[in-house]
Amino acid sequence: MLLKSLVKPKERLTTVKEDVTLEDALKVLEDSGYRCVPILDETGQIFRGNIYKMHIYRHKSRGGDMKLPVTSLLKNATKFISVNAAFFNVFFSIKDLPYIAVLDANNNFYGILTHTRLMDMLSQSWNVNVGSYVLTVVSAGERGDLSSMSKIITKYTSIASVISLDAQEGELVHRTMFTLPADVDEEKLDRIVKALERKEFRVPEIEDLKSEN
């Protein structure tokens, strides 16, 4: 479920109404510095889509009428999610968008979830700012592998976070990323890696978070 704390509410956003002209919308975009902003209906409740600065510039450079309504260059009309959307749907809906519109239970415009905010949340959930190392462990994807790997690691330390990556089509391996807590030193890391490899789990990559912070 999407946390409302991740969403920037409409009261804090720069938006344009659907009846403004392209000329007026461009001024709003230039003054705000944003590359795109949401278009709302005249009541300010219904999300109509987004207007991008680049599309207005292109239209203007080709001699287009700047008095046309902003909706003439409307984009992303179907790119929105519910405030109660499952995280899996949120992650794949936003993809290459700078943000995605968020609607409330009544399908009214609630705010936006930015790509940057989502990535920050993922970074925090993986504890990359307070961890020591991230181990990429390769397994055959057999039942019980995750439990076995976790038991090996927790003989030496707790696990700050873990994420399992699905195998690509045609591959017979799974990759699991374990973030180890900040108190794990190189000696303990070496013992963990050797213990995993003794059980035929490969560790092809170790990321040192301390050297990057």
What is the residue extent of each domain of the chain?
A: 4-121, 127-208
- Helix, strand, coil distribution of the chain in percent, nearest 5: 35, 30, 40
d(CA 54, CA 98) in angstroms, rounded, equals: 14
**Residues 137 and 153 sit within 8 Å (Cβ to Cβ):** no
Q: Tell me what pLDDT residue 125 has.
A: 63
> 28-37, 56-65, 126-135: which range is least confident on average?
126-135
CATH of domain 127-208: 3.30.70.260
Question: How high is the pLDDT of residue 5?
Answer: 80
Can you tell me the mean pLDDT for 156-168? 81
Give the integer Cα–Cα distance in Å for 107 and 190.
53
- Least Cα distance to 111 among 42, 16, 38, 48 occurs for 38
**184 has pLDDT over 80:** yes
* Span 81-105, pLDDT tens digits: 998 887 777 877 887 889 999 999 9
Cα–Cα nearest to 17, from 29, 7, 9, 25: 25
Cα–Cα distance, 205 to 187 (Å, whole number)? 17
Query: Which CATH homologous superfamily contains domain 4-121?
Result: CBS-domain (3.10.580.10)
> CB–CB of 137/196 below 8 Å?
yes
Q: Is the pTM of this model over 0.75?
A: no
Q: What integer pLDDT is reported at residue 168 of this predicted model?
A: 54
C-alpha to C-alpha distance for 76 and 109, rounded to whole angstroms: 14
What are 136-146's pLDDT values in tens digits? 999 987 889 99
Confidence category of residue 118, pLDDT binned at 50, 70, 90: confident
| 54, pLDDT greater than 80 | yes
Tell me whether the CATH fold assigned to 4-121 matches the one assigned to 127-208: no
What is the overall mean pLDDT for the chain? 89
